[in-house]
Amino acid sequence: MNANHFNILSNKIVFLMLTILPVGGGFVYAFLYSIGTIGILNNGFTLSHWVNVLTDTSFWFSLGYSFYIAIVSVSISILLALTIVLFWKKSLVSNNSIVSYLLYIPLCFPAIVVALFSFQVWSKSGLISRIVSHLGILTEITSFPDLTNDTYGFSILYSCILMITPFFAILFSNLYKQEQIDHLKNIAMSLGATKTQALFKIVLPVILKKAKITISLFIVFVMSSYEIPLLLGRQNPQMISVLAIQKLQRFNLNDIPQAYAIACLYMIFIGLILYFLFFSKSSTQLSVSPLKRNFDD
C-alpha cells in the first residue's frame, strides 16, 4: 500500500468514525435497550415496549404534531420570504443594502433566545398582554388568551417562523440571481405572459423547484427541534424530541425503553426521508445542492 492509498483510507476511516459510528452505535444501543436486552430493568427479550409505543396514541400524536408544526411554519416562512424577496429584490441584489443586512440579523439568534423572546412577548404576562391591558381592552391578566404553551403551538410556530424566514429569504434571493429570474421573466412576458402569469408560471415554480430539497430538509429540522417546544410547548401533545427526552428522564424507569424505541423509530424515519430525497429518480441531480450556494458567487 502506498502513501496515497494510506491517506485515502485513513480519511475514510475518520469519516466513518465520526458519522456512522455514532449514529450506528447509538441506534444499536437504543434498539437493544428497547427490546429489553440491556438496561437497568432488563428482564430479557421483549417486544412489549415497541408494542406500547406503537399502540399508544402519544407517539403518533407527537409525530403528527411535529409534522403539523413543521409544515405550517415552513409554509408561512416560504410565503413571507418570497414576499420579502420579490418586494425588495432590487435592494437584495446589491449585497450591501440595508435590507440585505437586516435579513442576516435574525440568524444571530439561537433557538433558545428566540424561545425566550417569544415567551416575553406572547405569554399572559408578556409584552402584548401588557400593551392590550394599557389600551383598556383587557381587565384581568387571566383573560388574555393562551398563546404560549397552548394547544395549537402558536408561539412555537411564531418562533420557528422567526428563525426560518431569513434563511429562506437569503436562499431565494440567491436563487433569484443565480437562475437569472429577471431574464426568464422578460422572456415569458415577451412571449405574451402578463405579470401575474409570469409570477405564477415562471418565477415561483423556478425558485421553489430549485429550493425543493432545502425546504424538505427544513421540514425535518423543524420536526426535530427541541429548545423551542421545550420552553413554549405543553405536556400534550409534545414534539418528538421533547417526548423522547422526557420519557428518558422521568422517574418511571419503565419509560426508558420506550424512549429508546421512539429514538429508533425516529432514526428510521429520518433515514427513509433522506433516502427518498437522495435516491429517488427526480432528485439525484440535486442531492448536494442545498449547500451549493456558499462560495460560488
Partner 1 sequence: MIRKALIPVFMLMVTFPIALLLLLSFGKSWVYPNIFPDQFTLQHWNDIYQINSELLMVTLKSIGISLGVSSVVTLLSFFSSKHISYSVYKSRWLFLAYIPYVFSPVILAATLQFYFTFVDVSGTFFGVILAQLFITYPFGVLIFSNFWNPRIKAIAELSNTLGGNSWITFYKVVLPLSKGVLLLCFFQVFLISWFEYGLTALIGVGKIKTLTLSVFQYIQEANIFLAALASCLLIIPPMILLYLNKRFIFTNQQTI
**Sign of the dihedral through C-alpha 48, 50, 51, 52:** positive
Alpha carbon distance 241, 62 (integer Å): 9
The burial of 135, by beta-carbon neighbours within 10 Å (0-12 exposed, 13-18 middle, 19 or more buried), is given as exposed
* Other beta carbons within 10 Å of 165: 22
Q: Is the Cβ of residue 154 or residue 221 nearer to partner 1 in the bound state?
A: 221
Using alpha carbons, select from 245, 92, 269, 283 the residue that is nearest to residue 173. Answer: 92
Using alpha carbons, select from 105, 129, 115, 128 the residue that is nearest to residue 157. Answer: 115
Alpha carbon distance 204, 85 (integer Å): 11
Task: Write down the least CB distance from residue 47 to partner 1, Å.
Answer: 19
Task: Write down the least CB distance from residue 34 to partner 1, Å.
Answer: 10
Instruction: Look up cell 402578463; give the residue.
Output: 194
Q: Is the Cβ of residue 79 or residue 107 nearer to partner 1 in the bound state?
A: 107
Alpha carbon distance 13, 36 (integer Å): 32
Q: What's the residue count for the chain?
A: 297
Could you say which DSSP state residue 41 is in?
A: T
Q: Is the Cβ of residue 127 or residue 187 nearer to partner 1 in the bound state?
A: 127
Q: Is the Cβ of residue 8 or residue 79 nearer to partner 1 in the bound state?
A: 8
Task: Write down the least CB distance from residue 197 to partner 1, Å.
Answer: 23
Task: Write down the least CB distance from residue 191 to partner 1, Å.
Answer: 28
H or E segment and range at residue 113: helix 111-122
Task: Write down the least CB distance from residue 233 to partner 1, Å.
Answer: 14
Task: Write down the least CB distance from residue 192 to partner 1, Å.
Answer: 28
Q: Is the Cβ of residue 64 or residue 187 nearer to partner 1 in the bound state?
A: 64
Q: Is the Cβ of residue 120 or residue 187 nearer to partner 1 in the bound state?
A: 120
Q: How distant is the alpha carbon of residue 193 from its chain centre?
A: 36
Task: Write down the least CB distance from residue 200 to partner 1, Å.
Answer: 22
Q: How distant is the alpha carbon of residue 189 from its chain centre?
A: 36
Task: Write down the least CB distance from residue 218 to partner 1, Å.
Answer: 8
The burial of 242, by beta-carbon neighbours within 10 Å (0-12 exposed, 13-18 middle, 19 or more buried), is given as buried
DSSP string, 115-172: HHHHHHHHSTTSHHHHHHHHTTS-SSGGGS---SS-TT-HHHHHHHHHHHHHHHHHHH
H or E segment and range at residue 272: helix 255-279
